């Protein structure tokens, strides 16, 4: 038989050609593979969320092999001795078994939990970036709203997952959730009884939460993440202003290969950090909490951090109970105090941010599309509003853990509560004022450098005895020594080594890069001029 010669180098091309003949994929794929992404560290925060979501799916799938969502009472006889012989739900027993008797089960469970915390934390940090840079403006309002929905879905999935092990801590949380649902006027009792199929805790809640946690909510998350990323592709990524960057182009790296390779590496690092935390830091030690019984509640029972602001709002809100006659339903119709901090407040916190892009457009009368980002200092009102929101949220979150803080720092719990109440009213306006002043100061300094030049650190004594500091102007100056550069919305160099005046700038994060990488070629980029010869600065 005659051996046919195979040209190895031609194989990929042939395979790809064959695929394209059948599926006509080349044209749409080319536009995707050639997609350009701008490069800035703050654009990678959303990826952390995406990658931890992938870790969540991987570890979560492992956990489903061993978890039983059942409230049937069993007697534990696993390998954790201090609970042997205790009656508990099958859900809790299977969570213990998966922690102690399944090989690698505990680290999987811990990684899952840390990944969940990372997921929501990355969403929040990513949201800060979007907000402070004005990336939510037209045409990206939809993606902003989807992002907020993703946060609340992550919140819900986190809560259902927190409830599944049926330990004493999660049972306490579930009890509080049922109380919150009960507090809703008119429909509260119906909502609660239909979710729990009767009175709390009932027998079905675990299987319902289970299907919501492993199927319904993740599905919704997956769908919305796809739309979220699809919109980033369709509407293109925003970019910082800079040389060669306009509202109508994107300067950066192609999706394939550079961007994909970097993101692949970033995924590995996110996975690694989560695995590291899962292996090094104990999270949610359910064996210490014991099984949930209605009579057990521990001191310092807190929800996970992203729910803690609601715990805090409940702790701070005064005990104002409304009793009135509701359309002839009789006197004594009650709206319990918990309704305001746990139903109304999150409602406001959902609606207000969702409406924010439209409110801002209306107030600033700016209805144009924006693809260039704004530096936070250039929009002091928005930046200060954001700082205000963060201050509000921080006070609530700290108040959610105020008993732990009170105990460990030897502060009176009552003082903590009052500090929280006063702080909730005082901290946000204070944050607004301080942030506004800082923004104005930074703006002013940018203008000053543009007009007077960079401080050189060289002090000169004039013949008449005066001392002056020599400034390096950034552009030719007029007779009075003032530059006339327009502020371009991007970083103004403020140090001499930014201008290349000192020794050649060493690039690299931990280690210097021996050979600087070639700058990405892009049409709008100005050609790099050779460095001029150095001279001593005399003026």
Rounded Cα–Cα distance for residues 82 and 351 (Å): 48
**153, 224 Cβ separation under 8 angstroms:** yes
One symbol per residue from 37 to 66: x for binding another protein (CB under 8 A), - otherwise; what is it? --xxxxxxx-xx------------------
**289, 88 Cβ separation under 8 angstroms:** no
225 φ, ψ to 5°? -65, -40
**98, 286 Cβ separation under 8 angstroms:** no
| Choice between 304 and 378, CB closer to another protein | 304
**What's the token pair of residue 395?**
């006070």
Rounded Cα–Cα distance for residues 40 and 238 (Å): 11
Rounded Cα–Cα distance for residues 459 and 472 (Å): 12
Q: What is the DSSP letter of 226?
A: H
Query: Of 66-74, 201-209, 288-296, 526-534, which part binds another protein (CB under 8 A)?
Result: 288-296
Q: Does the footprint of another protein cover residue 404 (CB under 8 A)?
A: yes
Shortest distance in whole angstroms from residue 362 CB to another protein: 34
Query: Of 54-62, 109-117, 199-207, 495-503, which part binds another protein (CB under 8 A)?
Result: 109-117
Q: Does the footprint of another protein cover residue 504 (CB under 8 A)?
A: no
Give the up-direction half-sphere exposure of residue 41: CA atoms within 13 A in the CB hemisphere. Answer: 2
Shortest distance in whole angstroms from residue 110 CB to another protein: 5
Query: Of 54-62, 322-330, 424-432, 512-520, which part binds another protein (CB under 8 A)?
Result: 512-520
Query: Of 119-127, 149-157, 192-200, 448-456, which part binds another protein (CB under 8 A)?
Result: 119-127
Residues numbered 414 to 433 that lie near another protein (CB under 8 A) are: 414-415
Query: Of 9-17, 281-289, 463-471, 484-492, which part binds another protein (CB under 8 A)?
Result: 281-289
Rounded Cα–Cα distance for residues 346 and 18 (Å): 54
One symbol per residue from 253 to 272: x for binding another protein (CB under 8 A), - otherwise; what is it? x----x---x--xx--xx--
65, 520, 524, 539: which one binds another protein (CB under 8 A) = 520
**What's the token pair of residue 229?**
């990323």
Query: Rounded to 5 degrees, what angle do the CA atoms 464, 467, 473 make?
Result: 115
Shortest distance in whole angstroms from residue 169 CB to another protein: 7
Q: Does the footprint of another protein cover residue 317 (CB under 8 A)?
A: no
Q: Does the footprint of another protein cover residue 408 (CB under 8 A)?
A: yes
| Choice between 332 and 508, CB closer to another protein | 508
| Residue 404 to residues 43, 121, 175, 299, Cα–Cα distance (Å) | 35, 21, 21, 9
> Cα dihedral sign for 409, 413, 417, 422?
negative
Rounded Cα–Cα distance for residues 396 and 423 (Å): 9
Q: Does the footprint of another protein cover residue 538 (CB under 8 A)?
A: no
211, 223, 288, 425: which one binds another protein (CB under 8 A) = 288
| Choice between 86 and 496, CB closer to another protein | 86
The DSSP code sequence of 9-52 is: GGHHHHHHHHHHHHH--HHHHHHHHT-EE---GGGGHHHHHHHH
* Residues present in the chain in total: 539
Q: Does the footprint of another protein cover residue 319 (CB under 8 A)?
A: no
**520, 253 Cβ separation under 8 angstroms:** yes
Q: Does the footprint of another protein cover residue 153 (CB under 8 A)?
A: no
117, 212, 275, 326: which one binds another protein (CB under 8 A) = 117
Q: Does the footprint of another protein cover residue 354 (CB under 8 A)?
A: no
Q: Does the footprint of another protein cover residue 522 (CB under 8 A)?
A: no
Q: Does the footprint of another protein cover residue 318 (CB under 8 A)?
A: no
Q: Does the footprint of another protein cover residue 455 (CB under 8 A)?
A: no
Shortest distance in whole angstroms from residue 367 CB to another protein: 32
Shortest distance in whole angstroms from residue 68 CB to another protein: 21
**Region for residue 298 given its phi and psi (left: phi exceeds 0; alpha: psi -120 to 50; beta: otherwise):** beta
Shortest distance in whole angstroms from residue 513 CB to another protein: 8
């Amino acid at each position: 038989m005659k051996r046919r010669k195979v040209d190895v180098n031609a194989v990929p091309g042939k395979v790809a050609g064959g695929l394209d003949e059948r599926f006509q994929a080349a044209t749409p794929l080319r536009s995707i593979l050639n997609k350009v992404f701008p490069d800035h560290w703050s654009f990678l925060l959303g990826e952390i969320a995406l990658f931890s979501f992938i870790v969540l799916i991987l570890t979560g799938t492992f956990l489903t092999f061993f978890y039983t969502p059942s409230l049937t009472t069993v007697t534990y006889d696993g390998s954790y001795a201090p609970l042997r012989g205790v009656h508990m739900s099958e859900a809790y027993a299977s969570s213990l078994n998966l922690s102690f008797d399944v090989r690698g089960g505990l680290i999987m469970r811990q990684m899952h939990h840390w990944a969940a915390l990372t997921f929501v934390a990355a969403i929040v940090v990513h949201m800060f970036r979007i907000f402070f840079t004005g990336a939510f403006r037209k045409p990206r309002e939809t993606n902003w709203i989807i992002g907020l929905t993703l946060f609340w879905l992550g919140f819900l999935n986190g809560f259902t997952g927190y409830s599944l092990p049926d330990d004493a801590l999660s049972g306490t949380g579930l009890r509080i959730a049922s109380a919150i649902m009960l507090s809703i006027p008119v429909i509260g009792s119906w909502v609660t009884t239909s979710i729990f199929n009767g009175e709390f805790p009932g027998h079905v809640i675990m299987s319902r939460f289970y299907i919501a946690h492993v199927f319904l909510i993740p599905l919704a998350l997956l769908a919305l993440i796809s739309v979220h990323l699809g919109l980033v592709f369709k509407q293109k990524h925003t970019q910082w202003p800079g040389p060669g960057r306009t509202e109508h182009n994107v300067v950066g790296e192609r999706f394939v290969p550079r961007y994909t390779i970097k993101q692949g590496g970033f995924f590995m690092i996110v996975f690694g950090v989560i695995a590291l935390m899962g292996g090094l830091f104990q999270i949610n030690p359910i064996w210490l909490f014991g099984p949930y019984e209605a009579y057990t509640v521990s001191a310092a029972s807190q929800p996970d951090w992203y729910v803690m602001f609601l715990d805090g709002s409940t702790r701070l809100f005064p005990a104002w109970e409304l009793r009135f006659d509701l359309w002839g339903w009789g006197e004594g119709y009650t709206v319990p105090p918990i309704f305001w901090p746990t139903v109304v407040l999150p409602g406001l916190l959902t609606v207000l941010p969702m409406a924010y892009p439209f409110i801002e457009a209306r107030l600033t009368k700016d209805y144009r599309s924006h693809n260039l980002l704004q530096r936070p200092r250039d929009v002091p009102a928005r930046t200060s509003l954001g700082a205000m929101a963060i201050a509000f949220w921080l006070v609530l979150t700290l108040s959610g853990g105020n008993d732990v803080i009170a105990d460990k720092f030897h502060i009176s719990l009552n003082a903590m509560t009052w500090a929280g109440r006063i702080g909730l009213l005082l901290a946000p306006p204070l944050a607004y004022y301080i942030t506004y002043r800082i923004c104005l100061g930074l703006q002013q300094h940018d203008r000053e450098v543009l007009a007077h030049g960079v401080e050189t650190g060289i002090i000169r004594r004039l013949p008449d005895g005066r001392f002056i500091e020599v400034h390096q102007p950034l552009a030719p100056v007029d007779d009075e020594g003032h530059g006339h550069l327009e502020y371009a919305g991007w970083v103004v160099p403020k140090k001499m080594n930014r201008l290349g005046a000192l020794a050649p700038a060493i690039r690299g994060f931990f280690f210097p890069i021996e050979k600087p990488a070639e700058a990405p070629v892009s049409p709008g980029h100005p050609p790099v001029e050779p460095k001029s010869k150095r001279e001593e600065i005399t003026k």
